[in-house]
Amino acid sequence: MCTAWADGYDGIQQHLRQRMNFAVLVAGAALEAYGRERGWKNLDLVSAAESGLKRTLGFEDGSGAQHPGVSAFLRQDDGALVHGDSQCVWLGEAGFRGMDVFSPLWHDVDLTPEARGEFMPCKSY
């Protein structure tokens, strides 16, 4: 799930930079090596390390389990960051549906006669 989302954003990162800064916040530094293996060249990966930021944003639960999501911030003229919104992917029993709008993969799969069914993107092919 996260890998397919990041694959897509790596491809459009240069377009996004015309309008905004965009980074992927990860729990640790391990994703950098993983990203290099996948061929990611454009994504800015930022480690949350031991900070509580992912938990504050709702992307990590009390047990440390990771929940992918997206947040938007605005940097004001005085340099202050203002949190606009966050959306977590996990919607409980509804599954991973919270960020469909951010990935065309799901829209295309939904067009097939079987729709999503049990489909989940692979981490490697």
Residue 32 lies in a domain: yes
In a domain, 122, yes or no: no
What's the confidence (pLDDT) of residue 98? 60
The rounded distance, in Å, linking the Cα atoms of 90 and 97 is 7
Question: In this structure, is residue 105 part of a structural domain?
Answer: yes
| 4 pLDDT tier (thresholds 50, 70, 90) | confident
Gyration radius (Cα) of the chain, Å? 15
In tens, the pLDDT along 6-41 reads: 888 898 899 988 888 888 888 776 777 888 888 999
Per-residue pLDDT of 42-62, as tens digits, reads: 988 888 877 888 889 888 888
Percent pLDDT > 90 in the chain is 9
Q: Residue 91: inside a domain, yes or no? A: yes
Enclosing domain of residue 71 = 2-110
Does residue 22 belong to any structural domain of this protein? yes
User: Does the pLDDT of residue 1 top 60, yes or no?
Assistant: no
Supply 86's token pair. 């966050």
Task: Give the chain's domain count.
Answer: 1
SS (H, E, C) 7-73: HHHHHHHHHHCCCCCCCEEECCCHHHHHHHHHCCCCCCEEECCCCCHHHHHCCECCCCCECCEEEEE
pLDDT above 70 as % of the chain:
87
Has residue 117 been placed in a domain?
no
Residue 33 located in a structural domain: yes
| Confidence grade of residue 92 (pLDDT, cut at 50, 70, 90) | low
CB-based contacts of 11, cutoff 8 Å, min separation 6:
42
CA dist 66 and 76 (Å) reads 29
How far apart, in Å, are the Cα atoms of 88 and each of 40, 43, 85? 23, 20, 10
